[in-house]
Amino acid sequence: MVKFNRFVLSNGLRVIVHEDHTTPMAVVNILYDVGARDENPEQTGFAHLFEHLMFGGSVNIPVYDEPLQRVGGENNAFTSNDITNYYITLPAANLETAFWLESDRMLSLAFSEKSLEVQRNVVMEEFKQRYLNQPYGDVWLRLRPLVYKNHPYRWATIGKNLEHIEHAKIEDVKAFFQKHYNPQNAIMVVGGDVTVEQVQQLSEKWFGSIPTGEKYNRNLPQEPEQHEERRETVTAKVPLNDVYIAFQVPGRSDKEYYAIDLISDILSRGHSSRLYRSLVKEQQLFSEIHAYLTGSFDTGMLVVEGKPLETVSIEEAEAAVWKELEKIAAEPVPTGELTKVKNKTESTMVFAEMALLDKAMNLAYFELLGDADDFNHEVDKYLAVTAEQIQQQAKAIFQKDNSSTLIYLAEKSEAVPA
């Protein structure tokens, strides 16, 4: 159980405080309610570009990292299709430094052509290295538009293509910042060796005067239910053939989410899971195989991905995967197997309650979903899932007309004449 207090500043900034006096450290985590799904289809990759720009210095602090390093702090950030999250960990005695840095860049981020050019080049290089020049690197650039036809999830967090980042203009960047980076669109969690009174005082001092910003209504095009099988095959410079089968599933806030998450664990969590045991160990059809859930706020994906052995045809590999999926839809999961995956989930979540940064991130995330206290009840929701619910969801999801299959075929190297 993670105890916390919350309050809201007059400008709309939501603040959550978790006191933990067993550590000399503190964490300041700021979650902005903006991700790649909020981008203009013709200007994708901006949310991720902004994550980089936020470290490019402000009007008052040219080099963001320097003051933090002087007080023994560390920082990082990440962007997803749904959120952008920034965090600082530092000795609690130096907590005010974190407030100063975060409030300053929320209010006074430096929009210079030089900073934009530097970070644009960094992101473009990341795009090339991670997505274009790496085996299977473009999987999300291909799989997402196969699964999504209307929703902005159809492009990856990095963006649709390099040109959108390459042609990002300073006025576009400023407009994106003004729309999304303001107090009413942010949740700040402060945890560690702090007090509620101290955090209230520092919040008012450093964030209280920042303008609220203009409220906008998110009106995203929703993804219709899929009713036809979709396929794409690509021949590429990859070491092994690879099979991706993606299924549309309900979003993160849907009550069915917990059963679906457990389905992915039953299929693929650990060496005793069904896919590994059957397809890697017993039948020896795959060198590796995985199943995972994206956990997206809106319509999500459950993806099964595996690399068949070179002696196994794509057709044989796919048929073997479908056989396992049909089995979980046809037969109730045995009590022992369901209990085992629930226990693993419970241990993972209990562990997440131990690390200060994990607690801060989770409190911010669940507050955005609706209520930070829901984090304290997540385990109960998993434990309440029945074998009947597992089977019911498996039947609904694992349908050919709800599948999008992406096949990578390894390019055959031409034999060199003797």
pLDDT in tens, 270-324: 999 999 999 999 999 999 999 999 999 999 999 999 999 999 999 999 999 999 9
Q: Which residue has the tokens 């985590």?
A: 29
Contacts 24+ apart (CB under 8 A), 223-229: 223/148, 223/149, 223/150, 223/151, 223/153, 223/248, 223/298, 223/299, 224/149, 224/150, 225/402, 226/147, 226/401, 226/402, 226/404, 227/401, 227/402, 228/401, 229/400, 229/401, 229/403, 229/404, 229/405
Is this prediction's pTM over 0.75? Answer: yes
pLDDT in tens, 119-144: 899 999 999 999 999 999 999 999 99
Q: Indicate if the pLDDT at residue 415 is higher than 60.
A: no
Q: Decide: 243 and 317 in contact? Cβ < 8 Å.
A: yes
Q: Tokens standing for 159? A: 């963006």
Top-tier CATH class for 5-208: alpha beta
Q: Decide: 31 and 363 in contact? Cβ < 8 Å.
A: no
Residue 416 has what pLDDT? 44
Fold classification of 230-410 (topology level): Cytochrome Bc1 Complex; Chain A, domain 1 (3.30.830)
321 by DSSP, 3-state: which? helix
Name the least confident of 6-20, 139-153, 212-226, 247-261. Answer: 212-226
Residue ranges of the domains in the chain?
Answer: 5-208, 230-410
83 by DSSP, 3-state: which? coil
What's the pLDDT band for 414 if we cut at 50, 70, 90?
low
How high does pLDDT run on average in the chain?
A: 94
DSSP notation for 230-254 = EEEEEEES-SS-EEEEEEEE--TTS
Domains 5-208 and 230-410 share a fold: yes
143 by DSSP, 3-state: which? helix
Amino acid at 418: A
